[in-house]
Structure formats: C-alpha cells, structure tokens
Amino acid sequence: MVGNRVGAALAVLLAGIAPIGAAAQQVITPDGVVSTVQDEALWQLTLSRATADAYRNYLSSFPNGAHAAEARARLNVVLGTLPSAQPPAAGTPVQPAPVQPPEPVTATPLQPVAPVAPAGAEQAESALALTLDARRAIQWRLNELGHDTRGADGIFGSGTRRAIGAWQTSRGFASTGYLTAAQAQELRNSAPSGPPAGVSPTTTPATVGSPAAGIEPGTGETAMELTPTQKRIIQSRLTQLGHDTNGIDGQFGSGTRRAISAWQRANGAPATGFLSQAEATTLLSGGSLPGAPSADTTDAAARAENMLDLTRADRIAVQQALVAAGYDTRGVDGTFGSGSRRAIRDWQAARGMAATGYLTAEQLRTLRSVGAGTVAGGTTTTGTTTGTTTSAGATEADEARLALGEIARAEVQARLSALGYDPKGVDGKFGSGARAAISRWQGDNGLASTGYLNAEQLARLRNQRSR
C-alpha cells in the first residue's frame, strides 16, 4: 500500500493542488489517511531516498505527520535498532520484514531533491572526520558561491547536502551530496575559518551585515519575508542588468544566488549571494547601487563645481536635461538640492564616471548639449508656468507596443509604490488603481496624465529614485 500512497501523493503534487510553501491543504490518500499536500510530497521524496538523514528530515518537518510512525519505524530499521519496519508486539518473536522499495520519483521544480549518494560515499565522507568548524567553513563557502545550505551551523542536513550536490555539478563532479577528501580540501582552502566576528555560528550569510558596505547588521534576507512576486521582480531586474538567474520563478535557487553575487560584485558590495534590506530595496526600486566616493573626493568635486560659477539659468538647464534623460531631480527650480545631486550621481554612474553628484566642466557641456538637442528635436518642451518638462501624452496604443508581461507590470507597480503612488496592489495587472497611480506620477513629473505609459516614460519610471 505504500507504493500506492506514494503514487497518489505524487499525482496530487503534480496536479498543482497546492504548491510547496502554500498554506496547508488537506487531502485524503487512497488508504484513507488524512494528510496535507506538503506532508505527502515530502514523504514521497523521503521514500525515494530511504536514508537515515531523509527520515530524520521528514520527522523534523512533520513530527506529528501522517507518516511519522512509519518514518520512525523505518529509521530504526536503517539504524539497526529494530529488525522490522513495524514495532514487534510484546512476547512475539522478532521476524525481519522486508521494506517495500519506493516507486521511482522524478524531481519537480516545486521541491528540489537532494542527490542520491552511491554506496560508500557517505562512509568516505565520515572517514574524513571533519570538525564542526571545518563543516561551518564549508557551508559558508558554499553559500558564498551561491549554493544555499539553509544555515551555517556545522550540521550537514538536507539543505547542505543539496548545496554540495549543486556545487559538485557546477564543478563537473558526480553529484553525490557527500564530499571526497579533495573536494572538502578545495572548499576549506577557499573558505573563511568561520563567520565574521560578532556573528553567531548558526547565522546564515543572509543575516550578515557590514556597516562599511551600507548594510545594517542583522537585516537578513529571511527576516524580510520577500513574497514570490517580489522575488520575481528581483529576478527580472537582475536579468535586465545582465545577471542570468536561470529563470524567473519566484524561488531563489542556485542560479539566482549566483546572479545576486555577480550583481553585488559589480556594485562593490560583499558577494554573499544573499540580499540585505538595502540591496533588496535597491533592486525593487531600480537595480544600481549608488556610488560611495570618499569624503575627500566629494569635497574636491564640490570645489571644482563651485569654480564653474553656475547661474540659476545654468542649473535649470542641467535639471531639464537630467529630467529629459529620465533622472528625476525633484524639481526644476535652479537649486541643486538632494534630488538634483542624486540625479547627477545616477547620470554619472550610468556613464561610467565617478558618481560624486557634482559636475565637471565637461559634464556640464554634455548636459547642456543634450538638453538643447532634446528641446530642439521637439520631443520635450518646457512648461511656461511651472518650468517643468512635459512630453506628449502616452496612449493605450503606445503602451500596447511595449508588450509588458506580468513581471514587467508588477515591476511598474512596485516602482510606483516605492515612489509613493499606491497602485492598490502589486499583482502584474493594470487595474483602476494602477492607472490612477500612473496618472498621478505623470502629473507630478510634468507629463500628460493619461494613465498609460510609453517607452520613454517607462525608462524614466525605472530610473527614478524615491525621495
């Protein structure tokens, strides 16, 4: 009957009654057992491995699950503490009973399967006698490489086994989930001896903060509780920035971890593969971390700009050019406040310049020419009453030509929300709430309030920073 139960659980899982991680949903197996989709899915995967670690993992996840008693009995058989999968009755001679082999199971994207180790792999790793510190160092290195171990506590559970298997695959080794002496040595040689000072050994890299990098200590990715929609937006943004996540599915697997690490390195941040609160906010609101020049560099840049003797008209022309290029200055008033400085920094960073927020003579000439060319070309005009830049109104046809998918629409909604324009949800659908938010954003940016976006406005929205 176990085989039938496993087949039924797999059928329920593949039918999509409830994805892994969703709220528990009751199901009744052909044997009349009341269970949940999650319980049945994990039990089916447990049977596919039939190892001590697999049974322990199931009991840890579902200590009172529908199959808890059977899991304990099978664990006793594997450990050799009982000769049978069923506890013997009192006074009854113990007779070994064969354990029915599990049905073959194919892993689905909903639940990654830990690699199945060939005979001898587990014993070979055990013979290495890795210390607790050595195991922690290996876990930290795996996480740094984008393979999530679900903790760095020195205990090689199912999360670590999957991470080892993924790393082995990436290096061209047999994916056993257990380390050889050479593999353990390779990971240990390139790993820190332990977590940074002041960080608990059980803390994952996701919770490590670095004030020098602008990350508040203790602001971990897990604590943020990112929704699947937010994760898809982040994956979409990383892909747009050239960092392939190997799919936009709302799950942060090894591909996304590698993409996050690459994005962090490109922005001068520690390449942990896990997002801090500041980094997640940055990706949800645009994707590029602002530069952090030294105080001396900034002071020198400020002095150089002061020597340009910019008039109010010069500053207005700069602000107009920045707004036309999609960088919101928070006003076109001839005063370089925090909004203008941020816009200048973003414009500089996008062109590979030192992002100081202050202009050089050459940069001033470039912006003047861009501003003059834009106005002369007829794509933008300057309002006579407010001094802000306006453009022709976007139409429904303009937006249709963008062919925005669900992820792109959700990103627009997230950007509007981050800028203070409530779209009444981030669901990838442009309903009345989203249209009203677009209209308000357009009006505040000197655009015709049509509620529809064109390519120029979409680019401006994506580049705009919150106050």
Same domain, 320 and 380: yes
Q: Into how many domains does the chain fold?
A: 4
The interaxial angle of helices 158-170 and 52-61, nearest 10 deg, is 130
Per-residue tokens: 4: 């039938």
Does the structure show a pLDDT above 50 at 46? yes
Over residues 129-140, the mean pLDDT reads: 85
Over range 68-92, report the average pLDDT. Answer: 64
**Residue 59 located in a structural domain:** yes
378 and 404 housed in the same domain: no
CB atoms under 10 Å from CB of 72, counted, come to 17
Segment 219-259, tens digit of pLDDT? 467 777 788 878 888 888 888 777 888 888 888 888 888 88
Q: Is residue 286 domain-resident?
A: no
Rounded CA-CA distance 242/463 in Å is: 16
Q: Is residue 417 located within the same domain as residue 358?
A: no
Dump pLDDT digits (tens) for 252-307: 888 888 888 888 887 777 888 888 877 887 787 655 454 445 556 677 888 889 88
Confirm whether pTM is higher than 0.75.
no
Whole-number Cα distances in Å, 231 to 85, 202, 281, 291: 42, 25, 11, 24
**Domain, as residue range, for 143:** 121-189
The residue from 131, 165, 189 where one domain ends is 189
CB distance 57 to 157 below 8 Å? yes
Rounded to whole angstroms, the Cα distance separating 433 from 366 reads 39
Mark whether 380 and 302 lie in a shared domain: yes
The torsion defined by the Cα of 168, 174, 177 and 182, in degrees rounded to 10, comes to -70
Residue type, 296: D
Position 125 in a domain: yes
Residue 383 and residue 401 in one domain? no
Mean pLDDT of 362-372: 78
Asked if residue 45 and residue 20 are part of one domain, the reply reads yes
366 in the same domain as 340? yes
pLDDT higher for 312 or 381? 312
**Residue 111: strand, helix, or coil:** strand
> Final residue of a domain: which of 168, 189, 210?
189
CA-nearest of 7, 64, 14, 11 to 34 is: 64
Residues 56 and 134 reside in one and the same domain: no
**Residue of higher predicted confidence among 266 and 5:** 266
Boundary of a domain, candidates 165, 189, 213: 189
Asked if the structure places residue 428 within a domain, the reply is yes
* pLDDT surpassing 70 at residue 205: no
Residue 79 has pLDDT above 70, yes or no: yes
Residue 202 within any structural domain of the chain: no
Question: From CA 98, how far away is CA 260, in angstroms rounded?
Answer: 48
Q: Return the CATH number at 446.
A: 1.10.101
* Residues 188, 191, 194, 199, Cα dihedral to 10°: -150
Question: Given this model, what pLDDT does residue 178 score?
Answer: 92
> 426 and 375, same structural domain?
no
What confidence tens digit (pLDDT) does each residue in 328-358 have?
887 888 888 877 888 888 888 777 778 888 9
pLDDT of residue 453: 93
Instruction: Specify if 263 maps to a domain.
Output: no
Q: Is residue 43 part of a domain?
A: yes
Give the residue-averaged pLDDT of 46-57. Answer: 85
Tokens of 343: 């816009």
Q: 349: number of CA atoms within 13 Å, CB side?
A: 21
Instruction: Report the relative pairing of strands 389-391 and 380-382 from DSSP bridges.
Output: antiparallel
Residues 299 and 375 occupy one common structural domain: yes
Model confidence at 413: pLDDT above 70: yes
Note the pLDDT of residue 198.
39
Q: pLDDT band for position 34 (50/70/90)?
A: low
Query: Is 383 inside a domain boundary?
Result: yes
The verdict on 384 and 303 lying in the same domain is yes
